[in-house]
Amino acid sequence: MGRQKEVRFKQIQENSNVLQEGKPLFKLIKGNWGDSFFKNSNPIVLELGCGKGEYTVGLGRLFPEKNFIGIDIKGDRIAVGSNQAIHEGLTNVGFLRAKAHDLENFFTENEVSEIWITFPDPHHLQSGVKRRMTNERFLEIYSTIIKDSGLLHLKTDCRPFFDYSLETLTNFGVNNLIHTNDLYKSDLNVSHYGIKTRFEEIFTEKGFSINYLVCEFGIKKGTSI
C-alpha cells in the first residue's frame, strides 16, 4: 500500500463524518441517520459510488437544509471528500464506506429522499449485468429505502448503459421519467447544478456527450427531451 493511501485510510478512521466497519455507529445507524449522525430531521440524499465525493460535497454546499451521504467501498477516495467537507465546515455531509448492494443494512424503509448515481461502472460484459447499478435487484433496494415520489438521478457517458437503464427503469414502473442524451444542450442542464465529477470533466473535454435522467419511483411513465 502506498504512503498516500495509508494516510487517507488513517484519516477516514479519525474523521467523524465517515462511517465504516469498526466504528460504533456502523452497525447501529440504520434508521438513525437523522438522530445519531446529522442530529437533525432534514431530508437525506445519497450519492452511490461517490468516489471522491464531488457531488456529495457540491450538493452539500448548495443545500444546507438537506443531509448528503456519499457511499463507496474505496476508502482512499472517500477520504478526499471527507477532508474537503471538514475543511469547509459542511456538517450536512457524511460518508459511508460500504457496497451499494448492502444499502438495506444501513437505511430503513422511506429513510432516503433522493438518490444520485454519477458515472457508475457500466459493466459492459454480459456477465456483469447484475452488477449494474440500475439492474432490477438494485432498483428493488432503492424503492424500499426511498420515500414515496423520491427522485433518482443518473449521469453517464456510456450510451449502451444508459439505454439499458432507461429500459430497466421503465419496466420497473417509475414515474415521470425524463431523459436526454446530451445534457449540456438540453433544458435539463439546470438539473445537475453545474457539478462535475472528475470523470465527467475528462469525458466532456474529449467531446463525449453526457446522458442524464431523473425519475420518481411510482407508476410507469416516460418522456424524452
Distance of CA 108 to the CA centre of its chain: 17
Give the active site residue among 121, 148, 157, 182: 121
C-alpha distances in angstroms, 16 versus 68, 141, 168?
14, 27, 37
Question: Where are any strands of DSSP class E within the chain?
Answer: 18-19, 44-48, 67-72, 93-97, 112-118, 146-156, 174-180, 211-217, 222-224
**Which three cell numbers, joined as nine digits, stand for 108?**
430503513
Pairwise CA distance, residues 139 & 178, whole Å: 17
121 is catalytic: yes
Per the CB < 8 A criterion, the answer to whether 121 and 135 are in contact is no
Catalytic residues: 121
